[in-house]
Amino acid sequence: MRPHLTVLAVLLICVPVEAQSPSRIVNVEARRTTSLNGKWRAIVDPYENGYYDFRLQPSTDGYFLDAKPKDKSDLLEYDFDTSGQLDVPGDWNTQRESLFFYEGTVWYRKTFDCQSKPATRLFLYFGAANYEAIVYFNGEKLGSHTGGYTPFAFEITGKTREKGNSVVVKVDNRRHREAVPTVNTDWWNYGGLTRGVSLVEVPETFVEDYFVQLKKGSTDTIAGWVKLNGPRLRQRVSIRIPEAGVSASVSTDANGYAALSVPAKLTLWSPENPKLYVVVIASDTDSVRERIGFRTIETKGTDILLNGKSVFLRGVSIHEEAPFRTGRAYSPEDARTLLGWAKELGCNFVRLAHYPHNENMVREADRLGLMVWSETPVYWTILWENPETFANAANQLAESIARDKNRASIVLWSVANETPVGDARTAFLKKLAGQVRTLDQTRLVTAALLHHNDGGAAQGNTDLLDDPLGADLDVLGCNEYLGWYDGLPDKADHMDYKTIYTKPLIMSEFGADALYGLHGDPLARWTEEYQENVYRHQVGMLNRIPYLRGTSPWVLMDFRSPRRTLPDIQDFFNRKGLVSVRGDKKKAFYVMQEFYQAKQKEYQ
Ligand code: GCB
């Protein structure tokens, strides 16, 4: 049997494939990698001249060929070698003034040399490309990926040459009505190879993926699965946690899959003690290690229980906006700065809005002991009845769960933000919530919903959360802007919140804009005093909601948004940050900090 399988595998690896589906490679950090970060050549192509011919038919000799004139008479109207450069990772908007508002295609090109190694497979890995990427290698199309916030990879085993390999990526960040997110958002549509790119080496048969978490409801059994990829799918696979004396093994089936269930005595991960263990997963052909934390997260009535104990999620919402320099955040330093500010605020929780943030963020949250709400970019009004829109949302959600399912910090998967109640929308989101439960039974499902004024006997002083989606969620999220879009700050004093559900509530957004350093009286819009005033009235109101178990005000740091045009105040920034992009703390920061100090005592 064996020789045949090997021959077959070699054939499979060598047969040229026109276009692959993207692969999911997890825990890239643990692999032998070659970074392709740095300067890439870039051609800005607003008319997609490198993709279509003049009849708008796909071109056969487009920019993806990365060609040079064959002789002095040959006509070629592009040249990567003499084109300008862009940094990867990085959005193009903040790298060149002329690209600040650009929405369209940019072609990226990187060359590298490569010694092919025996019995080794090679993947081209992209942390993220916003929004649509088509990847070519040495002139051949590898495949494409849709969605700006999740990783993807293409295999290039057997396709490399020793010198001058060419990776060309067509990145297009145009917004589309049917896309996820859709045309209308309140954040910058940063385009480009916004996260790192690398070459990842794995053995012929490798540990492709694994889920290693505590079994739902148990603190002494690790449950999950492991999956191999390659020609030798049936193997013994061991899982070891040396520090906890855990050692077990399983046999994978013909699909390379095996379920795990391993007894373990572990120190549980928590914000107070973010304990991570080195977990080693090894087969005959591969071995991979990762630092993983173990904890339980459940709800009971209106409580959220972390490791069985009721907790209040002292959070803050965060956009993936880079501190100090602006643009899309991507680096470990960005993550440390943003999450460091959250810790200073008194947080044990962050809401990473409105899309999956880069992997540095969730890994840093693991280390710092910050619980995480991770969100999929189903934002405002997307095309609920379009099956492709659903497939796209479902795929982005699955890719984000695939990447982060072993992060102890992630306690909540959010399926949407501020979506309008209606049959098609609710059916769409119920299906998405169902998908989360199929992929990951260990975490809680949420969404940021809206209240509405019940207008009844309470004389307009009661807001009611009765969104039918609530039935499918474990934790209710709610965005409200009392005092900003809705009345003046003291409106919160007279407001009561009711819900038809017996579930915990996280007030997932509230806030007000303030330009750091602008001062005035507490009713003067855009001043720090106004924002502070809103927060003061908010905390009073929040304290009156008996089923409130968390808050994540909007937002930690000011962020760029094309919707925010007011000169000298907004200048294309949403100013609801508790800190400015330079890290200056606004007055409201301290109101929230005080609230969190009190909450911490209350829940000790
Ligand atoms: C919201 C959205 C958030 C906006 C925020 C605002 O409700 O969820 O994305 O940025 O309001 O500032 O208006």
Tell me the DSSP string of 149-160.
Answer: SS-EEEE-TTT-
So what's the pLDDT on residue 199? 98
**Residue 513: which of 551, 485, 549 has the closest Cα?**
485
CA-CA distance, 281 to 30, in Å (whole number)? 11
The answer to whether 317 touches 351, Cβ cutoff 8 Å, is: yes
- Take atom 7 of ligand 1 and give the residue whose Cα is closest: 479
Q: pLDDT, tens digit, for every residue of 77-135?
A: 999 999 999 999 999 999 999 999 999 999 999 999 999 899 999 999 999 999 999 99
The answer to whether 561 touches 574, Cβ cutoff 8 Å, is: yes
CA of 186 to the centre of ligand 1 (A): 6
Probe target for ligand 1 pocket from 381, 479, 573, 578, with the most ligand atoms within 8 Å of CB: 479
Point out the ligand 1 atom lying closest to the alpha carbon of residue 513: 12
So what's the pLDDT on residue 18? 55
In the 8-state DSSP scheme, what is residue 1?
-
Is a pLDDT exceeding 60 seen at residue 17? no
* Category of 103 on φ-ψ map: left (φ > 0), alpha (ψ -120 to 50) or beta: beta
Point out the ligand 1 atom lying closest to the alpha carbon of residue 561: 10
**Residue 322: which of 133, 194, 148 has the closest Cα?**
194
The answer to whether 310 touches 327, Cβ cutoff 8 Å, is: no
Point out the ligand 1 atom lying closest to the alpha carbon of residue 574: 12
Whether residue 576 has its Cβ less than 6 Å from ligand 1: yes
Whether residue 366 has its Cβ less than 6 Å from ligand 1: no
Question: Mean pLDDT over residues 580-604, rounded?
Answer: 98
Distances (CA, A) of 304 to 391, 506, 558: 31, 10, 30
**Residue 219: which of 265, 179, 182, 175 has the closest Cα?**
265
Point out the ligand 1 atom lying closest to the alpha carbon of residue 380: 8
Whether residue 509 has its Cβ less than 6 Å from ligand 1: yes
Is a pLDDT exceeding 90 seen at residue 13? no
Whether residue 554 has its Cβ less than 6 Å from ligand 1: yes
For 500-549, what is the HEC assignment? CCCCCEEEEECCCCECCCCCCCCCCCECHHHHHHHHHHHHHHHCCCCCEE
CA-CA distance, 249 to 281, in Å (whole number)? 9
Whether residue 474 has its Cβ less than 6 Å from ligand 1: no
Point out the ligand 1 atom lying closest to the alpha carbon of residue 511: 12
The answer to whether 150 touches 396, Cβ cutoff 8 Å, is: yes
Distances (CA, A) of 521 to 80, 323, 513, 527: 56, 28, 14, 8
CA-CA distance, 121 to 438, in Å (whole number)? 30
Point out the ligand 1 atom lying closest to the alpha carbon of residue 185: 9
- Take atom 4 of ligand 1 and give the residue whose Cα is closest: 186
Question: Mean pLDDT over residues 452-468, rounded?
Answer: 80
Q: Which pLDDT band holds residue 306 (cuts at 50, 70, 90)?
A: very high
The token pair at 415 is: 């399926």
Question: Mean pLDDT over residues 125-154, rounded?
Answer: 98
The token pair at 59 is: 């071109």
Probe target for ligand 1 pocket from 182, 184, 185, 186, with the most ligand atoms within 8 Å of CB: 186
CA-CA distance, 42 to 81, in Å (whole number)? 9
- Take atom 10 of ligand 1 and give the residue whose Cα is closest: 186
Whether residue 564 has its Cβ less than 6 Å from ligand 1: no
Whether residue 419 has its Cβ less than 6 Å from ligand 1: no
- Name residue, tokens 């760029």: 560
Whether residue 317 has its Cβ less than 6 Å from ligand 1: no
CA-CA distance, 136 to 470, in Å (whole number)? 44
- Take atom 3 of ligand 1 and give the residue whose Cα is closest: 186
CA-CA distance, 288 to 298, in Å (whole number)? 30
Whether residue 186 has its Cβ less than 6 Å from ligand 1: yes
CA-CA distance, 249 to 37, in Å (whole number)? 37
So what's the pLDDT on residue 332? 98
Q: Count CA atoms closer than 13 A to 159's CA, side-chain side.
A: 26
CA-CA distance, 128 to 147, in Å (whole number)? 8
The token pair at 479 is: 């965005």
**Residue 530: which of 568, 563, 487, 495 has the closest Cα?**
487
Mean residue pLDDT of the chain comes to 95
Q: Which pLDDT band holds residue 456 (cuts at 50, 70, 90)?
A: low
CA-CA distance, 339 to 375, in Å (whole number)? 17
What backbone phi and psi angles, to 5 degrees, belong to 143?
160, -175
Is a pLDDT exceeding 80 seen at residue 1? no
Question: Mean pLDDT over residues 540-565, rounded?
Answer: 98
Point out the ligand 1 atom lying closest to the alpha carbon of residue 448: 8
